[in-house]
Amino acid sequence: MTSTLRSYNLVAWLYETTAGWYSLGRIGKSKAWQVQYLKPGDKVLYAGAGAGEDAMLAAQAGAAVTCVDTASKMLQRAQRRIEAEGFTAEYIHADVNDVAADGSYDAVAANYFFTSFDTEGEMVGVMDHLVGLLKPGGKLMIADWAPQRGTGWRRVVQKTHKAVGNGLYWLIGLAYLRPIREYPEYLQAAGLEMQHLEEFPLTRWGPNSFWSMVAQLPDAPSDP
């Protein structure tokens, strides 16, 4: 956790620019795509909000936004950006695991966030915690790397692209080997139902590199 905190503070100023360049804009698109599933007035929490390009779009769409991040410099960038556009949000400088899971949010976004957790057990624990933040019927939104699919040149291109991504992370001090996970399976195991899923390939011919999804908790059971 300490290394995550230090590293993201150091790279806050270049994080989104590098991500945009590296993904040919697909990372930004994968996050922006989710906003169409939010309604004005929805209470939305961005876990590991980073510099807030998606949180700002949610605020613009009329959502009541909360940004949570362990890196103060990331959070400051999110705040500056949202306020510069004339919107307000709540900013919590904390580990999202320390935010009380009070079931009060209409939606929680975990974008390029679960890759911060090295082990499957850690990732599942954090996902369960995020589910606990949701109201019945609430949505968990995830944008992240997509698993490698297909064969031949597509696989080679995707592996190479991922290796370049890992290299960039290493260069800027976030030296993790970030596993790519089958989020739909984890979401189902956590009791959510997939509502929408979109892939964001690097080129129109593939390979798929990023994906974004919206899964929903069941509504509260009605009285008999």
Q: Which is nearer to ligand SAM, 25 or 137 (CB)?
A: 25
CA dist 97 → 125, 133, 173 (Å)? 9, 10, 23
**Please, which of residues 80-99 interact with ligand SAM by CB under 6 A?**
95-97
CB proximity list for 36: less than 8 A, separation 6 or greater: none
Give the range of 36-44, 105-113, 131-139, 179-187 binding ligand SAM by CB under 6 A.
105-113
Q: Which is nearer to ligand SAM, 6 or 155 (CB)?
A: 6
Position among 23, 70, 148, 208 found at the interface with ligand SAM (CB under 6 A): 70
Whole-angstrom Cα Rg for the chain: 17
Q: Which is nearer to ligand SAM, 87 or 169 (CB)?
A: 169
Position among 116, 158, 208, 216 found at the interface with ligand SAM (CB under 6 A): 116
Positive or negative torsion for Cα 102, 104, 107, 110: negative
Closest CA to 52 of 22, 21, 12, 23: 12
Give the C-alpha separation, 70 to 93, whole Å.
Answer: 6
For residue 44, state whether it binds ligand SAM (rule: CB under 6 A): no
Q: Which is nearer to ligand SAM, 59 or 154 (CB)?
A: 59
Applying CB under 6 A, the site for ligand SAM has a residue count of 19
The kind and range of the H/E element at 195 are: strand 193-201
For residue 169, state whether it binds ligand SAM (rule: CB under 6 A): no
Position among 23, 66, 111, 148 found at the interface with ligand SAM (CB under 6 A): 111
For residue 123, state whether it binds ligand SAM (rule: CB under 6 A): no
Position among 44, 63, 71, 157 found at the interface with ligand SAM (CB under 6 A): 71
Q: What is the DSSP letter of 95?
A: -
Phi first, then psi: give them for residue 6, nearest 5 degrees: -65, -45
| Residue with tokens 């679960």, as numbered in its chain | 114
Binding footprint of ligand SAM on the chain (CB under 6 A): 4, 8, 16, 31, 48-50, 68-71, 74, 95-97, 111-113, 116
